[in-house]
Every structure is written in structure tokens, then in C-alpha cells.
Amino acid sequence: MDDAAEPMRERLQADLRAALKARNKQSVSVLRALIAAIDNAGAIALEAGGAPANPRLPGGSQYVVTGGGQSEAARKPLSAQDIDTLLVREAGERRTAADQVARHGKHEEADALRQGADLIDAYRLGSHP
């Protein structure tokens, strides 16, 4: 299975840099949330003892030394379908929250949540905002 997470993460990070330069708080928030959701989806589950349930690295270590004392947890690959499912879920959660917030009369906040969901939809299967 090809790992679709890395190209998507790179695309989101490039768009995040542009949103930061443009001082677009809404896009910055949405893009950071998407990057975190992709990172979380790729996390490898740990067994009760703290060891990776399915280690990818020789010797069973869950960390890769990247230099300078830093380490990065191993990630499971995500397919394009996994990424698309994640995007659908994230957009759906924002729309559900928007409906709930709107019922309480907070229409500006609801509109911001819907705009965030629309931004997320733009990343689905080849689209781009």
C-alpha cells in the first residue's frame, strides 16, 4: 500500500505556511487540525506494556533517531481512501458542530465551522482549495 499521508501532509503544510503569511486564522486552525488528524490516524497502537503492537523497525524499537536527540514514532501507511475517509469525518464533525452551535444562536461561529468544513472538502480526492 502506498502511503498517501506524506504527500497530503506536505500539501497541507505548504498551504499552512501560506495561510500563516496571509494571517488567515480560520485556515490556519483548520489546516493544523487536519495535519494532527493525519498524524493521529497514522499512529501505531501500543500494547499494554508500551511496546508497539506491530513494530515496523528491526529490534522492535518504536522510535527512529532523526538526529540532534530527536526521535519520531513509526507511522503506519495510510491509503488515499484512508485519507479521504478521514477528511469526510473531519468535515462532518465540523458541520454537526455548526448545526449545534446555530441552534444556540451563535450564527457567526456556525458559519466559521461550515467554512472550515468546506475547506476540508476541497482537499478530498484531488481537489485543491
* 55-86 per-position pLDDT tens digit: 554 444 444 444 454 556 667 889 999 999 99
Report the predicted TM-score, pTM, of the whole model to 2 decimal places: 0.76
- CATH class belonging to 5-44+77-126: mainly alpha
**Using one digit for the tens of pLDDT, what is the confidence trace for 96-127?**
999 999 999 999 999 999 999 999 999 996 56
Which grid cell sits at 65? Answer: 533517531
Stretch 29-35: mean pLDDT: 96
Q: CB–CB of 47/88 below 8 Å? A: no
Can you give the pLDDT at residue 44?
Answer: 77
Single-letter amino acid, residue 64: V
> CA-CA-CA-CA torsion for 40, 129, 127, 113, nearest 10 degrees?
50
Domain boundaries, the chain: 5-44+77-126
Cα separation, 117 vs 7, in Å, equals: 21
Can you give the pLDDT at residue 27?
Answer: 97
Cα separation, 32 vs 37, in Å, equals: 9
